[in-house]
Amino acid sequence: MPKYLLARDVYVCVVDNRCIWFDVTRNSYFGSKATDIAFVEGGVDDPSMAGNISTDRTSVDAGGAKLLKHGLLTDDSARGHRAEPVCVDSIREALIADHSRVSPKIGGRDVLRFLVACISTLVMLRRFSLGMALRNLEKKKSRVQIRTKHADRERVRELVCVFVRLRIFAYTVRQACLFDSLALARFLLAYSEIPQVVIGVSTQPFRSHCWVQVGDLVANSEPEFTKRFKPIFML
């Protein structure tokens, strides 16, 4: 079977015997049969799928051509990348057990950085694209990592409390997990704290979810709800 690379800004994982493809540039998802993971260079081999992979050359070529046509795969090494597992800690609990009981001290600098984080994220998502927003966030994260290697959990907990309290006056998180997570990540990076932004997917029915994680603690989502999603992307 021919092997292809994932197209630039495309990520993939297998969930409930389905192959889920995430195209960051188009901010869209595409589903196919789980055995399509076999086309991807670096795709995780699942022994249980071995008997289901077609050996018919016509069928194989048609399957690969379909994924190439959709722009999910490429045979150009300069424009693609191998599939890599998303290495993120399993969620243990929430970073903050009960936000309603938190009363953080908020200064003028906190308010300014909150506004900058929210406005920058809004501009990136509306004027440009999710891909651009993530690349910009990755650059900021890389600069912070030069100075510090690990997040200070207690400091991050304090900052998330500040963000959550200010968020009440700016927007609601209902159906806004992507915006909330990117804005929170920018806010934390402004204080040189390094978060992980994770995007996960689930099926039956299909749903996607985005959250911020610090080690095995989730910062802006309910742990039990978040555990239903399999990570497909992590920054």
Please check whether residues 108 and 205 belong to one and the same domain: yes
Q: How far apart are CA 155 and CA 149, in angstroms?
A: 14
Among 226, 158, 235, which residue's Cα sits nearest to residue 196? 235
Please check whether residues 107 and 77 belong to one and the same domain: no
Please check whether residues 210 and 168 belong to one and the same domain: yes
Q: Is the peptide bond before 104 cis (omega within 30 degrees of 0)?
A: no
What one-character-per-residue DSSP string does 160-184 give?
HHHHHHHHTTT---TT-HHHHHHHH
Residue at a domain's end among 81, 116, 135: 81
pLDDT in tens, 9-52: 999 999 988 899 999 988 899 988 888 888 887 665 444 443 44
Residue 175: predicted pLDDT: 77
Residue 186: predicted pLDDT: 97
Please check whether residues 205 and 120 belong to one and the same domain: yes
Pairing mode of beta strands 217-218, 93-94: parallel
Please check whether residues 129 and 212 belong to one and the same domain: yes
Please check whether residues 77 and 117 belong to one and the same domain: no
Helix (H) or strand (E) holding 27: none
Q: Would 87 be classed as within a structural domain?
A: no
Residue at a domain's end among 54, 81, 108: 81
**pLDDT tens string for the chain (235 positions)?**
557 889 899 999 999 888 999 999 888 999 888 888 888 876 654 444 434 444 444 444 566 778 888 888 988 888 888 888 898 999 999 998 776 666 788 999 999 999 999 999 999 999 999 999 999 999 999 888 665 556 678 889 999 999 999 999 999 888 799 999 999 999 999 999 989 999 999 998 899 999 999 999 999 999 999 999 999 999 9
Q: Would 88 be classed as within a structural domain?
A: no
Q: Would 54 be classed as within a structural domain?
A: yes
Please check whether residues 10 and 111 belong to one and the same domain: no
Domain boundaries, position 18? 5-81
Phi then psi for residue 155, to 5 deg, are -65, -40
Please check whether residues 225 and 135 belong to one and the same domain: yes
Q: How far apart are CA 168 and CA 48, in angstroms?
A: 48
What total of structural domains would you count in the chain? 2
Please check whether residues 140 and 215 belong to one and the same domain: yes
Q: Would 194 be classed as within a structural domain?
A: yes
Residue at a domain's end among 32, 60, 81: 81
Among 187, 192, 197, which residue's Cα sits nearest to residue 167? 187
